[in-house]
Structure 1
Amino acid sequence: MRTYTIAELAREFDITARAIRFYEDQGLLRPSREGVGGRNRVYTARDRTHLKLTLRGKRLGLTLSEIKSIVDMYESPKDTAAQMNRFLGVLAHQRETLERQREDIDMALAEIAAHEEECRRMLAETTANA
Structure 2
Amino acid sequence: MNRIMMNSEEPKKDIITQKDIITISELAHEFDVSTRSIRFYEEKGMISPGRTNGNQRFYTKRDRARLRLILRGKRFGYTLEEIAEIIGMTDVDYNEAEQLRKALKFGDRRLAEIRERISELQHLEHDLMALHEHMDSRLKELEVKKDKRAVEEYFEE
Relative to structure 1, the CA distance from residue 17 to residue 115 in structure 2 (aligned partners, 3 Å threshold; closer, same or farther) is farther
TM-score normalized by the length of structure 2: 0.67
In structure 2, what residue type is equivalent to 1:76? D
Tell me the alpha carbon deviations over residues 93-115 of structure 1, each in whole angstroms, 9 at most, x when there is no partner: 12212211221222222233333
Aligned to 1:85: 101
Structure 1 residue identity aligned to 2:23: T
Change beyond 3 A, Cα 1:14–1:82: closer
Would you say the 8 A contact 2:87–2:99 is kept in 1?
A: no
2:114 matched to 1:95? Answer: no
**Per the alignment, do residues 4 and 107 of structure 1 end up closer, same or farther by CA in structure 2, a change over 3 Å counting?**
farther
Which one of the candidate residues 71, 94, 105 is aligned to 2:121? 105
Sequence identity (%): 35
- CA deviations over 1:23-44 (Å, ceiling 9, x no partner): 11111111122364x2x32111
Give the residue type in structure 1 aligned to 2:67: L
User: Quick check: which has more Rg, 1 or 2?
Assistant: 2
Please say if 1:8 is aligned against 2:26.
yes
Paired letter, 1:45:
K
Equivalent-residue separation in structure 2 for 1:127 and 1:6 (angstroms): 66
TM-score when normalising by structure 1: 0.78
Cα RMSD for the two superposed structures: 2.5
Query: How is 1:67-86 mapped onto 2 (pairs within 5 angstroms)?
Result: 67-72=83-88, 76-78=93-95, 80-86=96-102
Q: Which residue of 1 aligns with 2:7?
A: none
Aligned residues: 127
- Which runs of no fewer than 5 residues in structure 1 stay unpaired? none
- Uncovered stretches (5+) of structure 2, i.e. residues with no partner: 1-18, 147-157
Q: Aligned ranges for residues 35-74 of structure 1 at < 5 Å?
A: 36=54, 38=55, 40-72=56-88
The structure, 1 or 2, with the larger RCO (C-alpha pairs under 8 Å, 6+ apart) is 1
* 1:4 aligned counterpart, secondary structure: coil
Structure with more helix by fraction: 1
Q: Aligned with 2:59: secondary structure? A: strand
